[in-house]
Every structure is written in C-alpha cells, then in structure tokens.
Structure 1
Amino acid sequence: MEQNLEGRPGRNVTLAVLGLGAMTIMANATIASSLPELKRHFADVAGIETLAAMIVTLPSLAIVLSAGLMGWLTDRWDRQKLLVLTTGLFLIGGTSGLWAESLTGILAGRLALGLGVAGTMTLGMTWASDLWQGAERARFLGLQGAAISVAGIVFMLFGGLLASLHWRGAFAVYALILPVAALALMALAPYARRLQAERTAPAKGGTERFPWAAFAFIGTLAFLFQAAFYLTPTRLPFHLEALGTTSPLIISALLAAQVMVSAPVSLKYGQIRQRLSAMTIFGLSFGLIGAGFLIHALADDWRGVLAGAVIVGFGLGISMPNYMNWFMARVPVSMRGRASGLLTMAFFLGQFASPLVSAPLVAWFSLAGAFAAVGGALVVLGLGLWVRHLIHAEPELAEAAPRPAE
C-alpha cells in the first residue's frame, strides 16, 4: 500500500484517479466534429437533425438513469469489480460507431457508453473524496479539472483528425479507456481491499443523514450549467458551418480552444478558492460562460467564435472543481458514492436535456439567437448568485473526518 487513506496518495494512485476523471469528457464532446458528416451519411433518416445531436447527448440519458445505482454500488460493492464492468461497457459502447452499420446500432452503443461513464465517473469522484480532504482536495480537484481540460484538447483534436479521414474515425478514441482502467485496477487495489475490510467491520453507533437540501441546490445549478454549456458541442459546429467553417479539424480546434484556456485556470482553483467564496465562483463562472455565448451570437466568422470560446474557457475552468468541492464538504463519509452518483446524474441530465431545450430556441431565434438567449440568461443567473452571496454569505464548513487508519 502506497499510503493509508489519511496519508498523501502516491503518484500512481493520483494518476489513476485523474485518469478516471479525464475519461468522462469523452462521453459526448469527442465526436462533435463528426456530426456534420454523420448527418449527411444518414440524411435519409427522418429527424436526423435532432438525432445527430442526440448521438452526442444520448449517453447522458443512460447516465441519468444509472448514476444513482452506480453511486449505491460504489458505497456497498467491490469497487474493482465495478470498474471492470463499467470499463467493458465504456469500451464496447464507445467504439460502436466504428462497427455499427445503422443509426439505431450507434444509438444503442451510446446508451451502453453512458452506463460505463456513469460508473467510471462516480468511482473517480468518490475516490477523490476519500483520498483527499480539505484544502488538499481543493488543490487536487483543480488538478483534476486541468487534467480533464488537457484530455479534452487531446481527445477533441485527435477525434477531429480521425473524423477528417472518415466520420467513424473519432469513435476509436474511446479505446483509450483500456490503459486508464488497467492503471486504476493496479494502483487502487490496496485501497479497495482496505475499504472492503472496513465495510465488514462492526458498525459504530449513530446515524448519518444525506444532505438532500444541499443536493437540491447544487444539483439544480449543475443541471443548468450543463444544459447551457452543451450548446457548444451540439450546436456550435452547425453555427460554424453557417459562418462558413466546415473543416472537422478546424471545428475541433475551436471546440478545444475553450478547454485549452480552462486547464491553467483549473490548476489555480485551490488558490482561487482561498480568496473567493464558492458562491462567488459559481456566479463568476455563469457570468463568464454567458458572456462567451453572447460573443458567439455576434460573431461574423470563426475568429469571433474563438474569442467567445476563450471567455467560456475561463468560466469552465473555475466551475467544475467547485461543484464537487462544495457538495462533498456537506456529505457524510459513508455516503460519498451516493453523492457522487447523484451529482453525476444532475450533470448529465443537463447534457441530455440540452438539445431538447435548445431546439425550440434555434427554431424561434436561429442558431445565433439561441446562443444570445442562453448567454443573456446565464449572465443574469451569475449576477443573482453573486447578489445571494452578498446578502447571505455561507460559513466555511469543517471537512468530514476521513476513514480511520489501520
């Protein structure tokens, strides 16, 4: 064992947990650059405009339906067995676009991918909560956010490069789950055995209650954040096409630009959190993303979209670590798996709902108008959260005690 649960985890453990987190960004956005060609390939399928967007977000439906169960299993079942199961689903479902001949087959594969992502994301979030606490957790979550951003750049550019050769090519990127899962299985094995032994020990007195009120608040914010943000992979490629940019590789580069900006911002999250309250960070994040969307709406060519993507990247970088850091400080140790699953559910419910919500906005206002409407709403929400903090500042909570050492 590299360290006990109270010590600082070693390099392999850190890389394993970072890797599990980084894989989640592959769930949807990796194949965004394939959408225009996929749409043309299945042009004779009724409703292909909406179905093409659903290819990106359908994994979110499976995640929404299964994340609660995955959280329950994470708290009660062997985490290594759960990782093997979810890795298999991730691999088979993710690569379905390489071998499925029909759109129905690809859609079924995307559902299987969603089940796999629900498990790997919940496991990654729970391990991060178990192995790091307090200020160390804030720093690790910032590092994890940066890792996700870097992975997003690599996955989207690699996917765009493969999609420029053939629209099916981007689906091959999902095979990267194999080395990540192998590392996690080896590095986390001592911790998993220790955890399993603790679960079989006699229970101590006292009851713990799940913080449902806290989840109602943070879950709503997470839903709104993802429902708005996922206009980027589901609508921005088509907006770029309307502006005259059709190359899958260029589209991928523009989508990756916001992730490239978010990486160094996420690395600074621990320091930012020491200076700003969680609510201020939420408000600032929504405001920045909204401002970026407004710039998208006003853009005349890809340069304007790039400027908007940079602003969105700043908001994205400070946002993702903040959700988990705020929520896990309010969750009992024995319920972190459930909390991770529910937060995962809220995130992906927003992703799944995004094309359904944006479709009428596009029909009413055009693609540019949809970005303008959502961007304006996000700016208002960000201001509202900031005002809420000014009126009702929340006290900092003490971190829940870690599991006892052997």
Structure 2
Amino acid sequence: MKMDHAQETPPSGAVTAAVLGLASMTIMANATVASSLPGLREHYAGVPHIDTLAGLIVTLPSLAIVLSAGVMGVLIDRWDRQKLLVLTAALYCIGGTSGLWAESLWGMLAGRLALGLGVAGTMNLGMTWAGDLWHGPARARFLGMQGAAISAAGIVFMLAGGALASLHWRGAFAVYALILPIAALAFVVLGPRARQMQAARGRPADRSTSSARFPWAAYAFIAPLAFLFQTAFYVTPTRLPFHLEALGVTSPFVVGALMAALVAVSAPMSLMYGRIRARLSAMVIFGLSFALIGLGFLAHATASGWQGVLAGSMIGGLGMGISMPNYTTWFMARVPATMRGRASGLLTTAFFLGQFASPLASAPLVAAFGLAGTFAVVGGALIALGGGLWALHVLRPEPAFAEA
C-alpha cells in the first residue's frame, strides 16, 4: 500500500469535518450522563448496591470497548470500513438512547454495553482515518485540532445533558442520537477513500509492507500510561457529582456546567498541541499533563464550594488538553501504515480499560478516605507520576522510543 505517501493534497474540509465528528462522539460515551446520576440513583434507590451500579452507568460502555476494540481494529484493517461504520453507528444510537426507554436498570446497563460496541467502532475509525490521512507535523496539528473538537463537543454535550437532566433524569440520554448525522456525513465523504483502501488491499504487498512488524515495545510503554491516565481522570465524572452534592451543589445543570469547564479549558490547549510538541518532548508533555490533573484534583479535595471545584476543573483541563493528542501522535509515529487499525484498537483498549476500572479502583479509596480524601490521594499520586516522567526525560533526553 502506498497510501502513506500519496496523500500530498490536504484532505478536504468535508473529510476533515467527518473525521473530527467521529472523534467528537467519543466524549459522549460516558461522561454526558454524569448529571443524571443523582436522579437515577434516587429512581432506583431500592436496587442493591445502587451507588456502584450508578457509577457503572457511566463506565460500563468501557467494558464493551475493552472487549471489542481490538477486534474492531482488525476489522478496520481487513474489512469494508463503510459497512463497519453503519453497523457501529446503529449500535451507538440504539444503545446510547436506551436510557430513554429502558424501564429496568438492567435493561439500561445492557444498552450501555451496546453503546460501548458502537463507540469501539466509531472511535477506532476516527483514529485510524487520522493516521491514514495526515502525516508528520500535519498529523500532530490535526490531532491537536481533534482534541479541541472533542473538548468543544464535550462542552455542548455536557451542558445539553445537564439541561435535559434538569427536565428529567432520563433526558441526557437523548444526546446520543447526534451520532446519526455525524455518521451520515462520514459515510458520504469518506466513501471514495474507503474504496481506495479496499482496492489497495487486493494488490500484492511490497517488501517493506510484508516485513513490517507491530511495535509491541512501544505499546508496552504507552498502554500502562494510558490506562493510569484514564483510571485517574474518570474519578471526575464518577465521583465529582456526589462530591458536589456533599458541598451543597444539587442542580444537575450546575454539575454539568462545572464538568464542562474542564473541557472548555482543554480545547485551546489541544489547539496549541502542535506548537507545544515542537518545543517539548513527549515525556515532558506526559509529565506536565499528569501534574496538572493532579493539581486540579487537589483543588477539588480542598474546595468548600463550587468555586473551588471550578478552579480544579480548569487546572485539570490544561493537563487534559495536551495529553490526549500526545498519546496518539507518539504511538502512531511508530506503527506501520497497514497496522493502524490494530494500533487504534489496542490504544483504545488501554484507554477504556482504565475508564472501566476507575469506579472499582476508587471505591475502596472513597470508603477509606471519603470523597474529598479520594481526590487528594489520587491528585498526589498523579503529581508524583508526573515528576517521574519528567525525571525520565532528564535521564534520557530523547523519547524512550525514537520518533518515526
């Protein structure tokens, strides 16, 4: 395949919008319904272990993503991407909106699993198309733009979710129907390129392609880092609404707005990622992002009202904005062109395994230290991890694996 070197003309605005749109759907997978958790918990108050199950409403899609992302990645490399887009968008819409019509909590949880299958497909498609259509510094700039698009979508989706949850706790689940116009655009404008990919697969592989190997050493470094990042970060949507409730903040709209502040700050930072990456090594960016998120958590822990939580969300947003593009840029630079689908699937697995594990990992911390104490403990650990990554940069000024 020569797709890597054939794309000298920048992708059109419509293609760019379609890939950005697929990426923006990722933010909706879990956190959009966080504003509904107090109402859901009250509605299902008689269900045993409702506090843990309410947290799983946010993170259960991650389990389905963990189990299916690798398979989705292989399908992207080997199957018709258009058919996969239609299938996964349908799962996304049906599963995502299940909170509107499922009567039992268990039916809603089943819908969240279906949503996860849909997200595994759409997220991997977006990540793989980004790797295929942009290269070198242009890829870093695009992934920064993609991070900003995810953040902007997060603001809209979280505010919309909070507003709809104020009308009824089920309302936030309606936001998932937005996948339909996004998938329709992607199906139309990416069709010609998808057909080119299909045709290229039928050609004899050249020697460089046939001898390419998957960079497992690079994955062994980036996967645990991605897992820890998501495990810690998803303490916010699963525990912050209840922390705010303890502080006297009970309005679902205000909860959604405070969480949206995080992604509002992350958007401009993502847009600046290309420039930041040109000046700082990947290890420094990783370390800085963990330290900033940790400082945000410490602000949550010491907050006496919504103002302190807002400050923590804004500080954490700085770290989130520079972090997400860094993972994809660093890893995709080390992956052969014919294996980007598999790479996307494996990186997605690491991210969402961390998301799924988050409420389970934080539960004993909440039991031992309370909500504020949990934010303090996790925040301190993140700052220590950030310092360790900075030390790695000092000891090895070049990245652990040379940039391709």
**2:167 matched to which residue of 1?**
165
Equivalent AA in structure 2 for residue 68 of structure 1: G
**1:242 matched to which residue of 2?**
246
Matches of residues 222-301 of structure 1 in structure 2 within 5 Å? 222-301=226-305
CA distance in 2, matches of 1:292, 1:56: 21
C-alpha distance after superposition, 1:311-358 (max 9, x if no partner): 000000000000000000011111000000000000000000000000
**1:403 matched to which residue of 2?**
none
RMSD: 1.1
CA distance in 2, matches of 1:273, 1:140: 12
CA-CA distance at 1:204 after TM superposition: 1.7
Equivalent AA in structure 2 for residue 62 of structure 1: A
**1:139 matched to which residue of 2?**
141
CA distance in 2, matches of 1:234, 1:258: 15
**1:202 matched to which residue of 2?**
204
C-alpha distance after superposition, 1:71-117 (max 9, x if no partner): 00000000000000000000000000000000000000000000000
Runs of 4+ that moved beyond 6 A:
none
Identify which of 300, 304, 308 aligns with 2:308: 304
Equivalent AA in structure 2 for residue 48 of structure 1: I
Q: Contact (CA 8 Å) 2:330, 2:403: kept in 1 or not?
A: no
CA-CA distance at 1:397 after TM superposition: 4.5
Matches of residues 4-403 of structure 1 in structure 2 within 5 Å? 5-205=7-207, 206-394=210-398, 397=402, 399=404
Gaps of 5+ in 1: 400-406
CA-CA distance at 1:52 after TM superposition: 0.2
Say which SS state the counterpart of residue 8 (structure 1) adopts: coil
CA-CA distance at 1:203 after TM superposition: 1.7
**1:402 matched to which residue of 2?**
none
Q: Contact (CA 8 Å) 1:6, 1:131: kept in 2 or not?
A: no
CA distance in 1, matches of 2:60, 2:164: 22
C-alpha distance after superposition, 1:184-223 (max 9, x if no partner): 0011011001010000011222411111111111010100
Q: Contact (CA 8 Å) 1:64, 1:349: kept in 2 or not?
A: yes
CA-CA distance at 1:393 after TM superposition: 2.1
Q: Contact (CA 8 Å) 1:5, 1:191: kept in 2 or not?
A: no
Gaps of 5+ in 2: none
Say which SS state the counterpart of residue 119 (structure 1) adopts: helix
CA distance in 1, matches of 2:163, 2:303: 25
Alignment length (residue pairs): 397
Equivalent AA in structure 1 for residue 33 of structure 2: I
CA distance in 2, matches of 1:202, 1:340: 24
CA distance in 1, matches of 2:15, 2:291: 35
TM-score by length of 1: 0.97
C-alpha distance after superposition, 1:239-266 (max 9, x if no partner): 0000000000000000000100000110
Percent identity for Structure 1 against Structure 2: 73
Say which SS state the counterpart of residue 211 (structure 2) adopts: coil
CA distance in 1, matches of 2:56, 2:397: 40
Say which SS state the counterpart of residue 203 (structure 1) adopts: coil
CA-CA distance at 1:150 after TM superposition: 0.3
Equivalent AA in structure 2 for residue 115 of structure 1: L
Say which SS state the counterpart of residue 49 (structure 1) adopts: helix
Equivalent AA in structure 1 for residue 352 of structure 2: F
CA distance in 1, matches of 2:118, 2:362: 26
C-alpha distance after superposition, 1:247-305 (max 9, x if no partner): 00000000000100000110000000001001100000000000100110000011000
CA-CA distance at 1:4 after TM superposition: 5.8
TM-score by length of 2: 0.97
Q: Contact (CA 8 Å) 1:329, 1:397: kept in 2 or not?
A: no
